[in-house]
Protein backbone atom coordinates (compact mmCIF):
# COMPACT_ATOMS: atom_id res chain seq x y z
CA UNK A 1 0.00 0.00 0.00
CA UNK A 2 1.32 3.42 -0.96
CA UNK A 3 0.98 6.04 1.78
CA UNK A 4 1.83 9.72 1.84
CA UNK A 5 2.48 11.67 5.00
CA UNK A 6 0.51 14.90 4.53
CA UNK A 7 -1.76 15.89 1.64
CA UNK A 8 -1.11 19.09 -0.19
CA UNK A 9 2.56 19.69 0.26
CA UNK A 10 3.63 17.69 -2.77
CA UNK A 11 1.55 15.60 -5.14
CA UNK A 12 2.49 11.96 -4.67
CA UNK A 13 1.47 8.68 -6.37
CA UNK A 14 -0.18 7.29 -3.24
CA UNK A 15 -3.38 5.44 -2.31
CA UNK A 16 -3.99 7.74 0.63
CA UNK A 17 -2.41 10.27 2.96
CA UNK A 18 -2.07 9.86 6.69
CA UNK A 19 -3.18 13.43 7.33
CA UNK A 20 -5.49 14.91 4.72
CA UNK A 21 -8.15 16.75 6.65
CA UNK A 22 -6.27 19.50 8.43
CA UNK A 23 -3.26 21.74 8.37
CA UNK A 24 -0.39 20.84 10.65
CA UNK A 25 2.17 23.13 12.19
CA UNK A 26 5.84 22.25 11.86
CA UNK A 27 7.40 20.50 14.83
CA UNK A 28 5.54 18.62 17.54
CA UNK A 29 2.12 19.11 15.94
CA UNK A 30 3.21 17.54 12.66
CA UNK A 31 4.94 14.68 14.46
CA UNK A 32 1.95 13.94 16.70
CA UNK A 33 -0.66 14.18 13.96
CA UNK A 34 1.19 11.84 11.64
CA UNK A 35 2.20 9.48 14.46
CA UNK A 36 -1.42 9.00 15.56
CA UNK A 37 -2.67 8.56 12.00
CA UNK A 38 0.03 5.99 11.22
CA UNK A 39 -0.69 4.09 14.43
CA UNK A 40 -4.43 3.95 13.72
CA UNK A 41 -3.84 2.95 10.11
CA UNK A 42 -1.30 0.31 11.13
CA UNK A 43 -3.76 -1.25 13.55
CA UNK A 44 -6.20 -1.75 10.67
CA UNK A 45 -3.66 -3.70 8.60
CA UNK A 46 -2.72 -7.39 8.75
CA UNK A 47 -0.09 -8.20 11.39
CA UNK A 48 3.45 -7.30 10.26
CA UNK A 49 2.21 -5.87 6.97
CA UNK A 50 4.38 -3.49 4.94
CA UNK A 51 3.58 -0.02 3.64
CA UNK A 52 5.49 2.16 1.21
CA UNK A 53 5.90 5.61 2.72
CA UNK A 54 6.19 8.51 0.31
CA UNK A 55 7.63 11.47 2.12
CA UNK A 56 8.61 15.03 1.37
CA UNK A 57 8.80 18.27 3.22
CA UNK A 58 8.46 18.07 6.98
CA UNK A 59 11.08 15.76 8.41
CA UNK A 60 9.17 15.51 11.69
CA UNK A 61 6.14 14.20 9.79
CA UNK A 62 8.30 11.44 8.32
CA UNK A 63 9.66 10.58 11.76
CA UNK A 64 6.11 10.52 13.12
CA UNK A 65 5.03 8.06 10.42
CA UNK A 66 8.00 5.77 11.08
CA UNK A 67 7.40 5.82 14.83
CA UNK A 68 3.64 5.38 14.51
CA UNK A 69 3.91 2.30 12.31
CA UNK A 70 6.78 1.01 14.44
CA UNK A 71 4.59 1.21 17.54
CA UNK A 72 2.16 -1.32 16.07
CA UNK A 73 4.59 -3.61 14.25
CA UNK A 74 4.14 -2.49 10.66
CA UNK A 75 7.09 -2.42 8.26
CA UNK A 76 7.83 0.81 6.42
CA UNK A 77 9.72 1.11 3.15
CA UNK A 78 10.60 4.80 2.69
CA UNK A 79 10.12 5.98 -0.90
CA UNK A 80 12.35 8.86 -1.86
CA UNK A 81 12.00 11.14 -4.82
CA UNK A 82 14.96 10.98 -7.17
CA UNK A 83 15.31 14.40 -8.74
CA UNK A 84 17.48 13.23 -11.62
CA UNK A 85 15.15 10.43 -12.69
CA UNK A 86 11.93 12.17 -11.75
CA UNK A 87 10.69 9.00 -10.08
CA UNK A 88 10.57 7.40 -6.66
CA UNK A 89 12.93 4.74 -5.38
CA UNK A 90 12.83 2.62 -2.25
CA UNK A 91 15.30 3.12 0.57
CA UNK A 92 16.79 -0.10 1.93
CA UNK A 93 16.79 -0.17 5.73
CA UNK A 94 19.10 -2.10 8.03
CA UNK A 95 16.54 -3.17 10.59
CA UNK A 96 15.12 -6.65 10.96
CA UNK A 97 11.57 -6.67 9.62
CA UNK A 98 8.44 -7.26 11.63
CA UNK A 99 7.04 -10.75 11.06
CA UNK A 100 4.08 -12.65 12.48
CA UNK A 101 5.27 -14.28 15.71
CA UNK A 102 5.63 -18.00 15.17
CA UNK A 103 4.61 -18.64 18.78
CA UNK A 104 1.32 -16.79 18.45
CA UNK A 105 -1.65 -18.76 19.63
CA UNK A 106 -4.27 -19.47 16.99
CA UNK A 107 -6.45 -16.43 16.49
CA UNK A 108 -3.99 -14.17 18.31
CA UNK A 109 -1.39 -13.23 15.71
CA UNK A 110 0.99 -10.48 16.73
CA UNK A 111 4.16 -8.97 15.30
CA UNK A 112 7.68 -9.63 16.42
CA UNK A 113 11.10 -8.81 15.03
CA UNK A 114 12.51 -11.45 12.72
CA UNK A 115 15.64 -11.73 14.89
CA UNK A 116 13.80 -12.27 18.17
CA UNK A 117 14.12 -15.78 19.60
CA UNK A 118 10.99 -15.00 21.58
CA UNK A 119 8.86 -11.93 21.51
CA UNK A 120 7.68 -9.71 24.36
CA UNK A 121 4.27 -11.38 24.31
CA UNK A 122 5.47 -14.95 24.33
CA UNK A 123 8.48 -14.55 26.63
CA UNK A 124 11.76 -16.39 26.93
CA UNK A 125 12.07 -20.13 26.62
ZN1 LIG B 1 4.88 -13.82 20.33
Q: How far apart are CA 84 and CA 45, in angstroms?
A: 34
Cα 18–chain centre separation: 10
Tens of pLDDT, residue by residue over 5-52, are: 999 867 899 999 999 988 999 999 999 999 999 999 999 999 999 999
From the list 98, 99, 110, 103, the residue with the least C-alpha distance to 125 is 103
Strand 50-54 versus strand 2-6 pairing type: parallel
> Domains of the chain: which residue ranges?
2-93, 94-125
Q: What is the largest CA-CA distance in the chain?
A: 51
For residue 96, how far is its CA from the centre of ligand 1 (angstroms)?
16
Q: pLDDT tens, 85-119?
A: 999 999 999 999 999 998 888 788 999 988 877 78
Average pLDDT value over all residues in the chain = 92
CA of 23 to the centre of ligand 1 (A): 38
Instruction: Kindly give the distance from the C-alpha atom of residue 47 to the centroid of ligand 1, in angstroms, as a whole number.
Output: 12
Distance CA 43, CA 95 (A): 21
Task: Give 81 or 124, the one with higher predicted confidence.
Answer: 81
Report d(CA 96, CA 84) in Å as an integer. 30
Q: Where are the alpha helices (DSSP H) in the chain?
A: 28-43, 59-70
Distance 37 CA to ligand 1 centre (A): 25
CA of 97 to the centre of ligand 1 (A): 15
pLDDT of residue 78: 97
What is the CA(21)–ligand 1 centre distance, in A? 36
Name the residue with higher pLDDT: 118 or 125: 118
What pLDDT shows up at residue 9? 65
Amino acid sequence: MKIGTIRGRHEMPVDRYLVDDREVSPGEDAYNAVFEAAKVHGQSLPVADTVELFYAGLTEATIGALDGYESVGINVVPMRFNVSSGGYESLSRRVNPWVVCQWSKAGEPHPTRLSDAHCKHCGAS
